[in-house]
A and B are shown apart, each in its own frame.
Chain A
Amino acid sequence: MGDAVSSVRPKETVREPPSGADAPGDSAHRAERETAELSERAVELARHYGGKMEVVPRVPIRSLADFSYWYTPGIAQVSREIQRDPDLSFELTGRWNTIGIVTDGSRVLGLGDVGPRAALPVMEGKALLFKYLGGVDAFPLPIQVASPEEFVETVRRLEPALGGVNMEDTASPKCFWILDRLQATLRIPVWHDDQLGTAAATVAGLLNALEVTGRRIDTARIVLLGAGAANLATARLLRALGADMGAMIMVDQKGILQAEREDLDELMLHNRWKYDLALETNEIRRRGGLAEALDGADVLLAASRPDPRAVRPEWVGRMAPNPIVFALANPDPEIWPQVAREAGAAVVATGRSDFPNQVNNSLVFPFVFRGILDARATGIPDPVVLAAARELARAARVRGVTAEHILPTMDEESVFPEIAAAVATQAVELGIARVRRSRAEFLEMATQRMTRSRRLGQWLSQNGLLPPMPPEG
């Protein structure tokens, strides 16, 4: 479950931990120490810069006289134009490139319910990634709300200012209800990154892992460990890709999910999405825990909690020959990659940048939004998410897919505008795009906008408008 933070942290010196199930050892201690140092530095820098984002004009100001266009009296006509045709707000204002990063702060990173104020630095960081990678103007908008209904209502009221919404760090299962409601009521795309970003990256990696091991999506037996936002969304995308849902098995803290489990009525009332999967998956009603679930399985997609002992090597040994193991918890995967490989895994992926095959939502969200904003799409249905996943998989194949390279890395920048173009093109094909262009045109558009954004940052730094990083210590 590579999140934005882990994706951009400096490459750690930590490589593989020594083999053995309890492997972390020295390297884990070193990683812990490094995290502590990074944390201290992050607070220091946050204080030094006073936040990470600011608003910068998009127009030249030669003198105050220019405000006759940028503001009154000229601006009144711009206002009237939009009143006449509300869609013009995407042309005559910056709405076309503006999204809100909305959270109630109820499940921030691994910290839990820290509230909207404490969520703000995280949302600022996300906004910085949106700007730097995707050229998207993203406003961090943590909101103080008392209920899911209030969440939806608040975002609904913000719609006129926004070209899209990125939901973030909102607790499961309410995040499912909120996303469904927002997607149904808003005429702009709404995305929940913890669901869709992670799921899209996971599915992209899985498509290539299946290819590397000579499997097909419709016959592979897939086990999902963890039934939170990411894996429930992954299951939905897998269904759309034609995976055998009856053969799929989900495992959570209570063990294998199956239609006769005692807590099913509770799920029916409080987590409809998981309830539906309980009925749809595990046709043979297998019972037990992860060990039983993995018996003969082709694929394990783990997105649960950081605990390198969650998946035991002997359980990997019970899987089909040459199995695929994704251990996506951060910072520690559910099983260390080397341990999984020694237990027989043919392809291993984690959420970390210091191991091969990082499943990283930073490969997805900036470019999905670049594409969806370029097409001025009215929504972001699953086929669009799948288009991003497929493009990501295709991009990795261009460089050659191996067991150690099933996904592009963050260094493979040429991939980024391709994802945006694939997304925009899919939106046009679905008839939800306000802007209809060819894929080549969308590619050009995305490349320009993303390049400009990076150049802007560099220029501000080089010209002394962004103070240099203070020395450490």
Chain B
Amino acid sequence: MEPRKGTAQKDRKGSEREAPDPGEGKVVRGVRVRPARKDDLPALVGLLVRLKRLNGEFDPLLAVRPDAEEQALRVLSADLSNPNSLLLSAEATGADEGKVVGVLRATIRERLFYVPEKEGVVLDIYLLPAHRRGGLGEYLVEEATRILKERGAGVITVEFPSLNEIATRFYAKRGFRPITSIHARSV
């Protein structure tokens, strides 16, 4: 969600030089990025709920439901079998070999009135704090972009709370700009 500037740049260049191998997954900062598997689910649920709690810090209208874990399990399980979904796991190597430390959830959306007609949407992205600031978040986004583009997306969008300035800066630096806004009020 918030890799720090300097190192992120370096890794970005590094990752651009070597073409990532989609099957094996590429190791960035001691973490391997690969398609999620069924046995990742318990860890992915934890990460997704952490992300939703983080979102809850920005706005009371994003307060997390008590059954968030069940919801997460339901949504993530569905992702695994949905051809329109993309679920990437970031898996530690070395001492913590095999431990899932990050997740990216994305989907392909049809745009009924606009061109490009297909939109790759990054719905959720979360890294455990110890794995931030090293360029891994950037790599996840780039990897998702590559795959979604392969699947026909002509535009990549991301969704996050409006008051998340860290995310705003992170994406702005990578060429994203706001195109639609969701405004809310309690009723």
Contact = CB atoms under 8 A, between A and B. Distances in A.
B130 interface: yes
B2 to A, nearest CB: 8
Interface string B23-61: 000000000000000000000000000100110010000
A269 B130 CA distance: 15
B129 interface: yes
B172 interface: no
Contacts of A270: 57
A268 B130 CA distance: 12
Contacts of A259: 128-130
A239 to B, nearest CB: 17
Given A262-B50, A265-B50, A279 B130 contact: yes
A279 B132 CA distance: 10
A44 interface: no
Interface string B127-160: 0111000000000000000000000000000000
B130 A265 contact: no
Please classify the interface of chain A as helix (H, G, I), strand (E, B), loop, or mixed, using the class held by over half of its residues.
helix
A71 to B, nearest CB: 51
Contacts of B130: 259-260, 279
A265 B128 CA distance: 9
A259 B54 CA distance: 15
Contacts of B166: 268
B108 to A, nearest CB: 28
Interface string A266-296: 1011100001001100000000000000000
Contacts of B54: 265-266, 269
A264 to B, nearest CB: 5
A269 B129 contact: no
Interface in A218-269: 259-260, 262, 264-266, 268-269
B57 A260 contact: no
Contact of B53 (A265, A275, A278, A279): A265
Contacts of B53: 262, 265-266
A185 B2 CA distance: 26
Contact of B57 (A266, A278, A279): A266
B129 A279 contact: yes
Nearest to B55: A265
Nearest to A275: B129
Contacts of A275: 129
A59 B129 CA distance: 60
A404 to B, nearest CB: 42
Interface string A343-366: 000000000000000000000000
A265 B1 CA distance: 11
A268 B165 CA distance: 12
B50 A268 contact: no
A15 to B, nearest CB: 46
B129 A264 contact: yes
A20 to B, nearest CB: 42
B77 to A, nearest CB: 23
B57 A269 contact: yes
A275 B166 CA distance: 15
Contacts of B2: 268
A262 B53 CA distance: 9
A266 B54 CA distance: 7
B171 to A, nearest CB: 17
A265 B166 CA distance: 12
Interface in A416-462: none
A275 B50 CA distance: 16
**Could you say which of A275, A278, A279 has the most chain B C-beta atoms within 10 Å of its C-beta?**
A279
A164 B162 CA distance: 39
Contacts of A264: 129
B64 to A, nearest CB: 12
A268 B166 CA distance: 10
Nearest to A278: B129
Interface string A147-175: 00000000000000000000000000000
A270 B58 CA distance: 11
Contacts of A268: 2, 129, 166
A278 B129 CA distance: 9
Contacts of A279: 129-130
A358 B35 CA distance: 58
Nearest to A269: B57
Nearest to A270: B57
B36 to A, nearest CB: 20
Interface of A: 259-260, 262, 264-266, 268-270, 275, 278-279
Given A260-B129, A265-B53, A279-B129, 15 more contacts: A259-B129, A259-B130, A262-B50, A262-B53, A264-B129, A265-B57, A265-B129, A266-B57, A268-B2, A268-B166, A269-B54, A269-B57, A270-B57, A278-B129, A279-B130
15 contacts: A259-B128, A259-B129, A259-B130, A260-B128, A262-B50, A265-B53, A265-B129, A266-B53, A268-B2, A268-B166, A269-B57, A270-B57, A275-B129, A278-B129, A279-B129
